Amino acid sequence: MADALLNLLTWFSPAFPTGGFAYSSGLEWAVETGAVRDEASLIAWLQDSLALGALWGDAVLLRRAYRGEDVVELAVALCPGAERRLETTAQGEAFAAAAWPWGGTAPAPYPVVAGRLCAAHDIPEDEAAAAYLHLLVAGQISAAVRLIPLGQSAGLRAQAALEEPIRATTAASRSLELGGAAWAADIAGMNHETQYTRLFRT
């Protein structure tokens, strides 16, 4: 248990060099259009992503990779736009490179390399999925703190409010069912590709 916890704290820390700070998963466009404008709308946006969108898909892909399925091409095909592909493949490559001291894994989309590495170290699947989702949610909250702008206290309240949705998605993703309906987030990600001024890569 202690070894698994130490691994998760390291691999899914914002300090682990995947470049996650540079991506917003379309959130930057959502803020510009007013779809996300405050703490409440940020929480709602991320709840939808956890239940219906990219975060749900990533949790399922992580589990499938953990179980030994070859889901590399599927993970890329599920990306709704060029920037989402960039986000998952670039971070996956960076994660794979940074993880070599722990045995490493071949470059692949981010949830795939995360699932493979956790499986190789016998980290419980549920804990791996929860830690991964926590990291991605925290990254988007950090982006929102800079974009809206949102104060640190509001960001922490959002993180606390999203703990239960993270637990729910962790549990529900055991079904391994892929699919989603977070159309607004997908459209935001695609529109971000042509946004005039940008702080983030996605």
* 198 domain residue, yes or no: no
Tell me, what's the pLDDT at 61? 98
Q: Is residue 193 part of a domain?
A: no
- Residue 64 has a pLDDT of 98
Tell me, yes or no, whether 57 lies in a domain. yes
Residue 134: Cβ within 10 Å count:
18
Q: What residue numbers bound the domain in which 106 lies?
A: 2-8+27-186
Average of pLDDT values for 115-123? 97
CATH of the domain at 41: 1.10.4190.10
Residues 188-194 have a mean pLDDT of 89
- In this predicted structure, what is the pLDDT of residue 181? 84
133: in domain: yes
pLDDT of residue 197: 83
Residue 192 belongs to a domain? no
Structural domain tally of the chain?
A: 1
The 10s digit of each residue's pLDDT in 10-50 is 999 999 999 999 999 999 999 999 999 999 999 999 999 99
Q: Is residue 21 part of a domain?
A: no
At 1, is the pLDDT very low, low, confident or very high (cuts 50, 70, 90)? low
pLDDT at 83 (0 to 100): 92
Backbone angles phi, psi at 179, to 5 degrees: 145, 160
Q: Is 142 a member of any domain?
A: yes
In a domain, 90, yes or no: yes
Helix (H) or strand (E) holding 185: helix 183-192
